[in-house]
Structure 1
Amino acid sequence: MKLSFLKKRATACVITALMVAVSIPLGVHCTETRAADQVTALFYEGTGGGYGIQYDLEQRMGTAANLLTVAQRYLEAGDSDLQALSSARERLSQAATIGDKYDANVQLSDAAATMISRLKGEALTETDSQYVTQFETDLAAAQDRIARSSYNQQAQAYNNSLQSFPVNWLRTIAGVEELELFL
């Protein structure tokens, strides 16, 4: 078999064009995936020795578990508010995506606020009353840290960068997706 067609200028141009056509989307994919991974790491790990949103979500789940323990001392086992808080906590622990974690966190906030309000109307021991107040403070503090996280700003900046030329043309071919915001 003769390979003389490889010695022709037209063949060289076609091969070069194919290589460029493949390398540009591949380059966009590698660059944008690396940038997305860095932003996503903010969600899970935080920045500069700080903690990410995931850490605060775990803290909120732990506080909700403690709140459930106190609530079970005063409310009946089949109580709807107990079940709501327990299922909200479970939903957050099983949430896989950032959007699902956000929705589950909102549900946990609502269920915890309802439970705290209800427990404040019960005849709690002084110790349990202090626990409930501390749980309320802990939940609010973790939510405040989440609200001040730089993840959403960084994710929005990343998503905006996907709208600029030439990435906006190549992102579909390159398999690059926008990041979910935690809001």
Structure 2
Amino acid sequence: MKNMKNGTKIIIGIIVAVVIIAIPLISSYNGLIKEESNVDLAWSQVESQLQRRNDLIPNLVNSVQGAMDQEEEVFTAIADARASLSGAGSMEEEVEANNEMNSALSRLLVVVESYPELKSNENVTALMDELAGTENRIAVERQRYNETVQGYNNRVKRFPGSIIANMTGFSEKPYFEAVEGAEIAPEVNFDNDEE
């Protein structure tokens, strides 16, 4: 009878030890799932704003294109960037396509500023204002995304999350970063004498 009580105590002790170890591991795993969901949600908000901008661009281009036939290179770059954004299959491809779009739009804005008749056109002005608002929304959503990624990545790297992350396949998420050279203003050359 005494051996049976000792055996029961050992089994209960093992069960208690397993529960004590399992609770933080389960909690950590659930936390990783929640953080990853938050990253996915934040990314979908970025995508939503990118799509909004993508939908506005044809209207803006159509409004300005007639007055700026000689700027075909800018329009081609915008069309190519839109196609890349639409065809992007991964987050990294979307970020790269977005960076192409940012570059093309920057050149378009410089061109529009150089045409006084466009700046006074109500449609162009309204579309430019709408695009500026969309760009601000994109910036806000990118910031939120990066903050969410930071929280998730911290959880993946810190103990005990790092152990659970390695065991269950969670890995760090990429930040939404500006393309190299984004700090340099685009230049548009209107000198047609160059060959």
Under a length normalisation based on structure 1, what TM-score does the superposition of the two structures give?
0.68
Change (3 A) 1:81 1:36: same
Contact 2:82 2:101 in 1 (8 A): yes
Percent identity over the alignment is 23
User: Equivalent residue for 1:53?
Assistant: 46
Give the gaps of 5 or more residues in structure 1: 1-11, 45-51
Counterpart AA for 1:140 = A
User: Equivalent residue for 2:39?
Assistant: 39
| Residue among 135, 160, 163 paired with 2:127 | 135
Cα distance in 1 for residues equivalent to 2:147 and 2:118: 44
Over the residues paired in the alignment, what is the CA RMSD in angstroms? 3.2
Cα distance in 1 for residues equivalent to 2:167 and 2:100: 37
1:176 has 2:170 as partner: yes
1:29 to partner: Cα distance: 5.5
Query: Secondary structure at the residue paired with 1:177?
Result: coil
1:124 to partner: Cα distance: 4.0
1:65 to partner: Cα distance: 1.2
Contact 1:71 1:82 in 2 (8 A): no
Change (3 A) 1:126 1:146: closer
User: Equivalent residue for 1:68?
Assistant: 61
Counterpart AA for 1:138 = E
1:77 to partner: Cα distance: 8.9
How many pairs were matched up?
156
Counterpart AA for 2:105 = A
Counterpart AA for 2:136 = D
| Residue among 88, 93, 110 paired with 1:117 | 110
Under a length normalisation based on structure 2, what TM-score does the superposition of the two structures give?
0.65
Cα distance in 1 for residues equivalent to 2:71 and 2:118: 22
| Residue among 137, 153, 160 paired with 2:154 | 160
Change (3 A) 1:126 1:153: closer
Residues 6-46 of structure 1, C-alpha deviation per residue, up to 9 Å, x if partnerless?
A: xxxxxx9xxx9xx99xx89x9566652343023311221xx
